[in-house]
Amino acid sequence: MPVNSFDNYPMSWKPDKKALKRPFYYSIASLLEQDIINGFLAPGTKLPPQRELADFLDLNFTTITRAYKLCEFKGLIYAVTGSGTFVAPNAARSITISTDKITDCIDLGFVASFEQTNGIVAEIIQKVADKRYLEKLLNYNDPTGIPHQKTAGLNWMDSFGIHVDQEHIAIVSGAQNALAIALTALFEPGNRIATDLYTYSNFIELAKMLNIQLVPIPSDQFGMLPNELEKQCCQTKIHGIFLMPSCCNPTTVMISDFRKHELAMVIRKHHLILIEDDIHAFLTAGMISDYQQPMFNLLPEQSVYICGTSKSICSGLRVAYMVYGDALRKNILQSIFNVNVKTSSLDAEVITELILSGRAHEIVSQKKQLAQSANDIYTEYFPVSKPVGHPLSFYRWLSIQEHHDAVQLETDLKMRGIRVFHSDRFLSGQTTPNKYLRIALSSTNSLDELKMGLEILKQYLG
Amino acid sequence: MPVNSFDNYPMSWKPDKKALKRPFYYSIASLLEQDIINGFLAPGTKLPPQRELADFLDLNFTTITRAYKLCEFKGLIYAVTGSGTFVAPNAARSITISTDKITDCIDLGFVASFEQTNGIVAEIIQKVADKRYLEKLLNYNDPTGIPHQKTAGLNWMDSFGIHVDQEHIAIVSGAQNALAIALTALFEPGNRIATDLYTYSNFIELAKMLNIQLVPIPSDQFGMLPNELEKQCCQTKIHGIFLMPSCCNPTTVMISDFRKHELAMVIRKHHLILIEDDIHAFLTAGMISDYQQPMFNLLPEQSVYICGTSKSICSGLRVAYMVYGDALRKNILQSIFNVNVKTSSLDAEVITELILSGRAHEIVSQKKQLAQSANDIYTEYFPVSKPVGHPLSFYRWLSIQEHHDAVQLETDLKMRGIRVFHSDRFLSGQTTPNKYLRIALSSTNSLDELKMGLEILKQYLG
DNA sequence: AGATTTGTATCTTTACATTTC
DNA sequence: TGAAATGTAAAGATACAAATC
């Protein structure tokens, strides 16, 4: 038995050899998990290399590989060949963003959707309640949507550039629900999905829950970098890619049309499944001159296009349209049955009526006006020399220099009466030197309240 | 290199050695999957033992283990130590039961819920549409349900024996949605859940999609056998158990109160998470003298109790109540955010109003009457000497002697104009010698149509 | 630029548990 | 009843690929 003295060796983590029970790999993973969750190992900490730790514990290094893998699966750590293994930025906490339990706080965190327009929806609900065929909406029939509801959806997406038949669209219960369906339908645990380095935190949490690994890809002002995507695809098996082309959450970046074509080429070459979350299409198509079409049209056979109505029409009625290529159809329908059985035809009917009556467009133009005002107010408080990202975005991405402790910063601001989210929440992988805040503009009860919130923020950041 | 001639050896499956590419385990699994899906290997076929196939292919036997495991994960095969590895009963097909695409057929397959009562629901929708606070139902707030809606839910479940506070109940989008949330929240891919040998086929499909393995446990007329459960728990790591105590779908068995206590003891001892799908509580509590309480009350800290309203109140409004112990709360809420964000407060409000106005109870008694009539009709066609299972069940479990080809039987009957489901669809694991049909009584447009369907069935079975 | 560091993927070895006969 | 058949679980060996210095 080799006798080593590693006491002087600089290992960031030394599990208690005596605490190990068989199976070793499992025992090591548990100890590591504990130490991360208890905060003994801070995010970013480099763990001992597999071979070092193996020597220290008198084990084969692949046993450490196995233990590390278990923790990586849970999103606690991430590994880079050649560099080492590190504690993940959001290892010890859930980064899910929801409206649960916010009290006495101006909310610049959660991105709502200017709920002032819901009066119109209430009117339409009354209209739907008086329909002769109301009773027909209350059974198990048409699990993917009643034909006329699907037609209305296609109608709605027509100006975005989506044109498919009834067999390739389904109504589901909101965009997040669509993401859950897409991931469970089309991916296996352990699969890898490429995403922007900063991406939608509820997508990160969903992937974590389903044990799907995210591979962060760098971007520039036109969107994800195709050569970086290409590099990752060659390096390791990537199964899919998640993009929000019309307005990335949280960075507000819009993918340029030329960039869409470049990315599509890489995606096609490597047979990735594209999940295109186009929840902001209503703010972009017909508004931004560079907008030509969704990426779905470039890759119809290997894409899922998701168009939620929560941001554009009404957040409380959980309705989204899912559009997919024929090759993906069977699996997606299966997952819809498994996860939802169906989406309430009543909710879908209200959205349908809103679209067909033209009131949905009325809501959209009101929301756009509100977004314009909110963005104007934001620019007063935080002027920028050169505007970046979507001009009507419901949130902004504010670069901050200091205040590097993400959790502390969020807590400080909450104590001052506002809720905002630090960029670390949106990290799909490694930590980065640049730090930001995402400032939601669409969740306060009024524009005055928004001003108050921004004032507090500006004073705090000094 | 050993030179063998296995041509005379009786191996049920001999992959083409030359077709193998590295990695071998993956290549073997793909070939096996193809041969199962193409029907070359029928359900029940015994595959070559790991060591035999390894010798044949000049590989180590654990490489075959790995290949088999991959297929087992996908639900294509199952393995029994000592006996061998077999092609799964439902390997090559989806057994999901839905209403999609049924045409010109009397439906005795899908279990609907006597949709004749939906007129009452339509009335209540009109009442809800006139509420002053309608607009307040249309935002992102209260993702787990508005307090008064939760209270109504607790109210509804009071007579079933459920008594918890607001923090331990959430409103989700139907019972199947609750199952999806429970499985993603509380289990990992590869975990094992004990179920009845015959169980709800959409649960089987859901587990398959999430790579959760089901371990079938034998039952008798009082429910699952505790000593068999105990045996399996000792043999292999089991993480959870799925039960439908009030009326097992498809067998109509009700778990006796003494059996609930016996099972609870085993579940507690082995720290299983109990998923209790009590969708039929409304047919059982207060009706069946043996009913005392849900199993949740015996194991509150390690249970999820699911009470869907689709069968009892209205199928088209997707609302279910999820009740859980404190230890499970955090994970369940996380999964609710990940999968649903929230359930439409409009739908929840309609169910709430139905409960509070007393109309829900009116619906239930109508449905019970319809169920009584339907069961009476069924008994005329298929009399039984000694009644088994729930007397008011919405479906019956008919033992059949011949007609052993499940797919053929279903197809034959469809050609004769009725849809029914063969027991093989409900098998959570191995094949069994006994065969049944599940006959839904609650899906025809009228009781006359039910009679017509049963008549066709009776003639066919001779 | 090439050796070193570090992680990944696959296959093999070993020990063992259950069922069958 | 105990040897043989069969599957399971964990750990080790080998080859390799990318990043670092």
| CATH class of residue range B17-87 | mainly alpha
Q: Is the pLDDT of residue A461 over 80?
A: yes
Contact residues on chain B for A129, CB-CB shorter than 8 A:
125-126, 128-129
Smallest CA-to-CA distance from B383 within B402, B396, B364 is with B396
Is the CB of residue B205 less than 8 Å away from at least one CB of chain A? yes
The Cα-based distances of A7 to A4, A10, A17, A20, A31 in angstroms read 9, 8, 13, 18, 19
Instruction: Identify which has the larger pLDDT, B318 or A427.
Output: B318
- B 156-175 near A (Cβ less than 8 A): 173-174
DSSP H or E stretch at residue B213: strand B213-217
How far apart, in whole angstroms, are the C-alpha atoms of residue A250 and residue A258?
Answer: 22
Would you call A103 an interface residue with chain B, using a CB distance cutoff of 8 Å?
no
Span A84-108, pLDDT tens digits: 999 988 887 778 887 766 678 899 9
Nearest-CB residue to A338 (from B99, B134, B180) = B180
Give the CA-trace dihedral at B229, B233, B237, B238, to 10 degrees: 30
By Cβ distance, the residue of A134, A316, A333 closest to B137 is A316
A138 touches chain B (CB under 8 A): yes
CA-to-C1' distance for A235 and C5, Å?
18
Question: In this structure, is the CB of residue A297 within 7 Å of any atom belonging to strand C?
Answer: no
Asked if A115's CB is within 8 angstroms of B176's CB, the reply is no
Supply the pTM of this predicted model: 0.94
The β-bridge relationship of strands B320-324 and A435-440 is unpaired
Write the CA distances from B53 to A412, B37, B57, B76, B331, integer angstroms: 64, 20, 6, 18, 43
Contact criterion met (CB < 8 Å) for A206 and B350: no
Where is A169: in which H helix or E strand? strand A169-172
Query: Per-10-residue mean pLDDT for chain B, 462 residues long?
Result: 39 88 90 92 91 91 92 89 88 77 84 94 97 94 96 97 98 98 94 92 93 89 91 83 96 97 94 96 94 97 97 96 97 97 97 98 97 97 90 95 79 93 86 86 93 96 86
Beta bridge partners of B440: B395
| Cβ contact, residue pair A98, B337, below 8 Å | yes
Q: Which of B186, B173, B235, B236 is nearest to B212 (CA)?
A: B186
pLDDT in tens, A183-235: 999 998 888 899 999 999 999 999 999 988 888 888 999 999 998 888 888 77
Mean pLDDT of A7-35: 85
B320 vs A39, more confident:
B320
Helix extents (H) in A270-323: 281-284
By CB atoms closer than 10 A (0-12, 13-18, 19+), residue B179 is buried
Which residues make Cβ contacts (< 8 Å) with residue A428, sequence separation at least 6?
A195, A196, A197, A198, A199, A204, A214, A215, A216
What amino acid occupies position B5?
S
Task: Give A180 to chain B, closest Cα distance, Å.
Answer: 6
Q: What are the backbone dihedrals phi and psi of residue B436, each rounded to the nearest 5 degrees, phi first?
A: -140, 170
Tokens of residue B22, six digits: 């590295």
Check residue B403 and give left, alpha or beta (phi > 0: left; psi -120 to 50: alpha): left
Q: Which CATH architecture has domain A133-357?
A: 3-Layer(aba) Sandwich (3.40)
Residue range A121-142: mean pLDDT, rounded: 95
User: Whose C1' is closest to the CA of A65: which nucleotide?
Assistant: C7
A40 is written with which tokens? 């003994």
Residue A111: closest C-alpha in chain B: B140
Q: Which chain B residue lies closest to A200 (C-alpha atoms)?
A: B338
C-alpha distances out from residue A401 to A404, A435, B460, Å: 8, 7, 78
Q: Residue for token digits 């094992």? A: B192
C-alpha separations of A80 from A87, A183, B26 in Å: 12, 25, 25
How confident is the model over A159-187, as a mean pLDDT? Answer: 97
Q: Does A318 touch chain B (CB under 8 A)?
A: yes
Domain residue limits, chain B: 17-87, 106-117+361-461, 133-357
Closest by CA position to B152, among listed B366, B358, B452, B362: B358
Is the CB of B173 less than 8 angstroms away from the CB of A318? yes
SS3 for B256?
A: coil
Cite the beta strand spans of B59-187 per DSSP E.
77-80, 84-87, 106-107, 169-172
Chain-centroid distance of CA B255 in Å reads: 16
Residue B359 has what pLDDT? 98
Cα–Cα separations (whole angstroms), residue A213 to A71, A263, A423, A428, B158: 12, 20, 19, 9, 43
Rounded distance, CA B125 to CA B129, Å? 6
- Residue with CA nearest C20 C1'? B82
Name the residue type at position A426.
F
Q: Is B122 part of the contact surface with chain A (CB cutoff 8 Å)?
A: yes
Among the partner-chain residues B206, B335, B344, the one whose CB lies closest to the CB of A316 is B344
Of B388 and A440, which is predicted with more confidence? A440
CATH of domain A106-117+361-461: 3.90.1150.10
Render pLDDT for A342-376 as a digit per residue (tens, 0 to 9).
999 999 999 999 999 999 999 999 999 999 999 99
pLDDT of res. B386:
85
By the 10 Å C-beta count (0-12 exposed, 13-18 middle, 19+ buried), B456 is classed as middle
Length of chain A: 462
Q: Which residues of A touch B137 (CB under 8 A)?
A: 316
Instruction: Judge whether residue B59 contacts strand C, using its CB and a 7 Å cut-off.
Output: yes
User: Is the C-beta atom of A437 closer than 7 angstroms to strand C?
Assistant: no
The span from the CA of A232 to the CA of A194, in Å, is 9
Of B202, B314, B333, the CB nearest to A337: B202
